[in-house]
Amino acid sequence: MRFLLAAVNAKYIHSNLGVYSLKAYAEKYLSDSAAEIQIGEYTINQQPDEILRDIFLRRPDVVGFSCYIWNIVYIRRIIRNLKKILPDTDVWLGGPEVSYDGERLLAEEPAVTGIMAGEGEKTFVRLVKAYEESAAAASLYTAERKSRAVLPEEQLERILGIFFRASSGEIVTTGPAELLNLDEIPFPYEKTEDFEHRIIYYESSRGCPFRCSYCLSSIDKTVRFRSLGLVKEELNFFLKKGVPQVKFVDRTFNCSRSHALAVWKYLLEHDNGVTNFHFEISADLIDEEQLAVIRQMRPGLIQLEIGVQTTYEPAIREIRRTMDLGRLRETVGRIKSFGNVHQHLDLIAGLPYENLERFCQSFDEVYDMEPDQLQLGFLKILKGSYMAEMTAEYGTVFHDEPPYEVLATRWLSYEDILRLKAAENMVEVYYNSGQFALTLKEMRREWTSPFRMFEALADFYENQGLNGVSHSRLARYEILYCFLCESPGNKESLPMGEKEADGPDRMADERIRRQERYRDLLMCDLYLRENVKSRPFFARDLGPYKQKIREFFRREKECPRYLQGYEAYDARQIANMAHLEVMGDGSAVLFDYLRRSPLSHNAAAVDIDEQRWKGAGAAVPESFGR
């Protein structure tokens, strides 16, 4: 028999650990079986007909789909048509999106044969055995397929962890799936070679010791770890293959101090200089010994995702979250000071007791921790979670369709949600892109609240009719410059000498100096990322400096002081490969694209001294070029 495990991923670069794990486990424990198990990986960006065609040409006897909140609607469209072209193929669903609402989904989808709920490895093996036994008993399969195997209900009833439709039409559930010892699961990537341009997902533990009410991982409180010996062997496989990125899917990777420390020590000692490892952690659990290991790591060896979610104590308690906020803030700050780890901090809007004003405060507190990325997410009411049980109590209104995102709560109106969405878009474009770091740092000085800063920028987009337009990168710089020319920031945050009390002439001079300062910072931000040839409308004309720029690169060719590694190029080529930008005070900043930060990928930038560039040196912020 032929079984197809179908994964519909969000992007091509993603992989689906679930289907690889099912296949590896089945091949190990069905070694005497003649069953053929294939994997089909697709994306939600493909046309459904492309996927239907591929599945049809494979002609599986049984196809199983891996279901999540972001692909379930797409998968349901596919399976309704799949049964029309392959009426004799059984369709099974598995994954978190179908594990807690199997009865309703089976009632709504007659094309689905059954659902595997919870951990699927043992369930899948037993299902394959049941199909083979049924086919053999009925003599339905010979060298050529004659008919369709139908599983007797008594066989299905013996398989733990499934929902199925009985002949009477009744939906039957067989009870929870059996939890595995993770060492029983074979390494799922042993036979895989396609690692280029792919993110590889890996797990060294299952379950979570915490009880966060919005998360499905809180349901399984039995944390199980894969033996460190196996984990190290498998990490070595990734390191030898030079896999670009490995993402640990462990829900709280460092819930075991010894486990996390051992893995991080191994990576430090066996770093291949290429592979990046991503971990989701609780920062307040990190201790001094772990910090000492992290401090020694190559920049970019690991990156950390830290779920803060909220800084409001009543909300933290209500969602059953355990967190030492002071310790978290201290740890994030210390790791940032190392300069070698990308930190991604998460917030969730829509949590109980947190209104708009209090969420703004949570945002401001996390923003001032200076994460490399700040994810402003919105509460999702997941089936099976405690949060779903409390919707009436919290007055939660949410989308009926996946991803079940919150629309309003007792504390947060839909209008508030819209304001948060608008600000979120600005955070994504201007903060999380990493393209405006210097400018945003200066803007922070002028605003008492970072959230209000992004909200004001969102209002500017709305008032100028800029929403709903696909803006180029260059246009984003021009828009921000126009916003800064119009918006003075929060005057309460400005020094007394910059307030209107000093008179209109003083204010006019200050506005001009301010615009020049932002012009410099925006141009530096622009050239830190890439050596663009098109320049924004506010850029200074470099024509008057053309000869000086040529002379600078000629001297660098003859006697390099700032640019190393350009020996094979002449002065004109070097001038095209690097960039020299003139500042408002006549000084110059050099951008070297052969030397980039391994974390931000920004070019190295240096202020040119008076001997090589006549005039005063440019005042460059401390974080410049990082």
* pLDDT cut 70: percent of the chain above it: 92
| b/e 333-368 (16+ beta carbons within 10 angstroms → b) | eebeeeebbbbbbbbbbbbbbbebebbbbbbbbbbe
**CA distance linking residue 155 with residue 130, whole number of Å:** 7
300 and 388 assigned to the same domain = yes
- Listed in sequence order, the residues at least 6 apart from 311 whose beta carbon sits closer than 8 Å to its beta carbon are 325, 361, 362, 365, 366
The reply to whether 92 falls in a domain is yes
The pair of three-digit structure tokens given for residue 366, joined into one six-digit string: 């996390």
Order of strands, sheet of 90-94, starting from the edge strand that comes earlier in the sequence: 36-43, 2-9, 62-66, 90-94, 114-116, 162-165, 171-173
For residue 229, the one-letter residue type is G
Closest CA to 215 of 122, 101, 351: 351
What pTM does this model have? Answer: 0.91
Q: In the listed set 514, 538, 562, which residue is the last one of a domain according to the structure?
A: 538
Report pLDDT for 147. Answer: 46
Q: 69-88, pLDDT tens digit by residue?
A: 999 999 999 999 999 999 99
Contact 244, 197 (CB under 8 A): yes
- Number of C-alpha atoms within 13 angstroms, CB side, residue 311? 19
524 and 609 assigned to the same domain = no
**CA distance linking residue 123 with residue 433, whole number of Å:** 43
Q: What is the CATH number of the domain that holds 333?
A: 3.80.30.20
Q: Is 430 helix (H, G, I), strand (E, B) or coil?
A: helix
- Per-residue DSSP letters for 112-150? --EEE-S--HHHHHHHHHHHHHHHHHHT-BSSSB-S---
The pLDDT confidence band at residue 221, using thresholds 50, 70 and 90, is low
The reply to whether 39 falls in a domain is yes
140 and 36 assigned to the same domain = yes
526 and 595 assigned to the same domain = no
Report pLDDT for 503. Answer: 65
**CA distance linking residue 472 with residue 459, whole number of Å:** 20
* pLDDT cut 90: percent of the chain above it: 80
Number of residues written out for the chain: 626
534, with CB counted inside 10 A (0-12, 13-18, 19+), is exposed
- Per-residue DSSP letters for 264-318? HHHHHHH--SS-EEEEEE-GGG--HHHHHHHHTSPTTSEEEEEEEE---HHHHHH
552 and 517 assigned to the same domain = no
415, with CB counted inside 10 A (0-12, 13-18, 19+), is exposed
> What is the mean predicted confidence (pLDDT) over 584-610?
92
Among the residue ranges 232-246, 372-386, 485-499, 535-549, the one predicted with the least confidence is 485-499
Report pLDDT for 624. Answer: 40
The pair of three-digit structure tokens given for residue 587, joined into one six-digit string: 């000084």
**CA distance linking residue 504 with residue 143, whole number of Å:** 93
For residue 12, the one-letter residue type is Y
Pairing of β 342-349 and β 245-248: unpaired
94 and 156 assigned to the same domain = yes
Q: How far is CA 528 from CA 281, 285, 597, in A?
A: 31, 35, 10
431 and 576 assigned to the same domain = no
> What is the mean predicted confidence (pLDDT) over 484-493?
71
438 and 463 assigned to the same domain = yes
The reply to whether 271 falls in a domain is yes
Q: DSSP label at 186?
A: P
The reply to whether 99 falls in a domain is yes
CA geometry: angle 238, 68, 236, nearest 5 deg = 10
Report pLDDT for 57. Answer: 97
The reply to whether 185 falls in a domain is no
Arithmetic mean of pLDDT over the chain: 91
Report pLDDT for 138. Answer: 64
Q: How many domains does the chain have?
A: 4
Q: Is 226 left (phi over 0), alpha (psi -120 to 50) or beta?
A: beta
What backbone torsions phi and psi does residue 411 show, to the nearest 5 degrees? Answer: -105, -15
The reply to whether 437 falls in a domain is yes
Residue 455 reports pLDDT greater than 50: yes
**CA distance linking residue 99 with residue 161, whole number of Å:** 9
More confident residue, 74 or 511: 74
> What is the mean predicted confidence (pLDDT) over 611-621?
46
The pLDDT confidence band at residue 384, using thresholds 50, 70 and 90, is confident
Closest CA to 345 of 327, 321, 323, 363: 363
**CA distance linking residue 59 with residue 40, whole number of Å:** 12
254 and 396 assigned to the same domain = yes
The pLDDT confidence band at residue 424, using thresholds 50, 70 and 90, is very high
368 and 453 assigned to the same domain = no
Among the residue ranges 134-143, 445-454, 512-521, the one predicted with the least confidence is 134-143
> Which domain does 570 fall in, by range?
540-626
Report pLDDT for 621. Answer: 37
Residue 502 reports pLDDT greater than 80: no
> What is the mean predicted confidence (pLDDT) over 163-172?
90
2, with CB counted inside 10 A (0-12, 13-18, 19+), is middle
**CA distance linking residue 512 with residue 517, whole number of Å:** 9
9 and 39 assigned to the same domain = yes
Residue 182 reports pLDDT greater than 60: yes
**CA distance linking residue 552 with residue 533, whole number of Å:** 19
Report pLDDT for 220. Answer: 63
Report pLDDT for 612. Answer: 63
Residue 619 reports pLDDT greater than 70: no
The pLDDT confidence band at residue 218, using thresholds 50, 70 and 90, is low
Among the residue ranges 106-115, 211-220, 314-323, 359-368, the one predicted with the least confidence is 211-220
Q: In the listed set 479, 506, 538, which residue is the last one of a domain according to the structure?
A: 538
The reply to whether 598 falls in a domain is yes
428 and 402 assigned to the same domain = no
The reply to whether 187 falls in a domain is no
Closest CA to 4 of 50, 55, 80, 57: 55
Report pLDDT for 24. Answer: 95
Report pLDDT for 501. Answer: 52
Residue 620 reports pLDDT greater than 90: no
Q: How far is CA 491 from CA 200, 440, 598, in A?
A: 48, 17, 37
Q: In the listed set 377, 394, 411, which residue is the last one of a domain according to the structure?
A: 411
Contact 218, 320 (CB under 8 A): yes
The pLDDT confidence band at residue 178, using thresholds 50, 70 and 90, is confident
> What is the mean predicted confidence (pLDDT) over 187-213?
87
Q: Is 1 helix (H, G, I), strand (E, B) or coil?
A: coil
- Where do the H-state alpha helices sit in 447-558? 450-463, 473-486, 504-529, 546-558
Contact 589, 608 (CB under 8 A): yes
Contact 17, 52 (CB under 8 A): no
Report pLDDT for 148. Answer: 52
Residue 625 reports pLDDT greater than 50: no
> What is the mean predicted confidence (pLDDT) over 232-260?
96
Residue 426 reports pLDDT greater than 50: yes
Report pLDDT for 615. Answer: 36
Q: What is the CATH number of the domain that holds 15?
A: 3.40.50.280
Report pLDDT for 626. Answer: 36
